[in-house]
Amino acid sequence: MKEKVVITAAITGAIHTPTMSDHLPVTPAQIIEEAVRSYEAGAAVCHIHARDPQTGMPVPDVSVMKEIITGIKSRCDMVVCITTGGGLGMSVEQRVAPVALYRPELASFNAGSINFALFPIVPRYKEWKFDWEKQYLGMTEDFIFANTFKSMREYCAVFAENGTKPEFEVYDSGMINNIAFLIQSGYVSKPVYIQFVMGVLGGITPSCENLLFLVEYAKKLIGDFEFSVCVAGRAQFPICTQALLLGGNVRVGLEDNLYLEKGRKAKSNAEQVAKIARIAEELGISPATPDEARQILGLKGIGQVNF
């Protein structure tokens, strides 16, 4: 086990919709506030998506993204990890645009294509706060989250040109093979940083056996690497605790899970960060500061970003 853990707060994402929780931040001001409060609770990294401030719909709007990331940077020194997963239906060009514009230290890099299915959630709700929500979720019955080898090669080039470290989002074991291929092809260099994303319908389910398998399989194919774990839904805290025991880092936040515990919605991202920080401390592991996280993840430094 390590002594320090990098806690990432995934503030809002592009999966949950405003109907699902009153506490989901959607405006730039709310997202900035949630990121700063997460930092105060122990998060060294925030993972950022942009939403339409009026409707909460995920949008590929680089000016909204800029408002959010500059707002966070003006208030704390946490690492800003910009999404390149974006939201459902965005083009690969729209998704990667903020990397070239803002040259962040870290950005997500989805390591392969999957069925990204949210449609089973729809019948749980009778009324929606906004018109777009039902259609957005429902259309995923026929949706592929496309990350082809061509677009991954192009993403590698954009990341390298801008000194942005890829955080490889791995939803299933085949994606580890994809990363090994990108390394062997010289498109990306080691050590890589992997975020194991468990619990998306279309990807691997969260279980202790599956996480152990992913970590061991990645060791076999890639050798040394840094990793973090995030889980969609209620297994978030148990599996993140397992990640701590395996020497990994953790991601929590309302992007992945709206609850703090069974039957109790989280009122903020910071509540979830504080909970995982507490669990880590009990295990003798302290939350890394942003600068310690930069060291652990091999980032270029906050002085090198373009925002």
Binding residues (CB under 6 A) for ligand KMH: these are 13, 15, 83-85, 108, 110, 169, 197, 200, 232, 255
Shortest distance (Å) from residue 198 CB to ligand KMH: 9
The nearer residue to Zn ion, 84 or 285, going by C-beta atoms, is: 84
Shortest distance (Å) from residue 253 CB to Zn ion: 9
Return the range that interacts with Zn ion (CB under 5 A); candidates 7-15, 98-106, 158-166, 278-286: 7-15
Pick from 50, 46, 146: nearest CA to 97: 50
The nearer residue to ligand KMH, 199 or 290, going by C-beta atoms, is: 199
Give the whole-angstrom CA distance, residue 72 versus residue 298. 21
Give the whole-angstrom CA distance, residue 294 versus residue 77. 11
Give the whole-angstrom CA distance, residue 135 versus residue 248. 37
Q: Token pair of 86, please?
A: 């974006």
Give the whole-angstrom CA distance, residue 129 versus residue 41. 30
The nearer residue to Zn ion, 81 or 277, going by C-beta atoms, is: 81
Choose, by CB under 5 A, the member of 83, 110, 162, 249 that binds Zn ion.
83
| Residue 197 binding result from ligand KMH, Zn ion, none, given CB thresholds of 5 to 8 Å by partner type | ligand KMH
Shortest distance (Å) from residue 286 CB to ligand KMH: 25
The nearer residue to Zn ion, 133 or 256, going by C-beta atoms, is: 256
Give the whole-angstrom CA distance, residue 201 versus residue 212. 19
Q: Indicate the residue whose CB is closest to ligand KMH.
A: 85
| Other beta carbons within 10 Å of 179 | 25
Q: Token pair of 290, please?
A: 């942003």
Shortest distance (Å) from residue 263 CB to Zn ion: 25
Give the whole-angstrom CA distance, residue 272 versus residue 294. 22
Shortest distance (Å) from residue 27 CB to Zn ion: 18
Shortest distance (Å) from residue 230 CB to Zn ion: 9
Crossing angle of the two packed helices 62-75 and 92-102, in degrees rounded to 10: 40
Q: Does 269 bind Zn ion (CB under 5 A)?
A: no
List beta partners, residue 251. 8
Binding site for Zn ion (CB under 5 A): 13, 83, 85
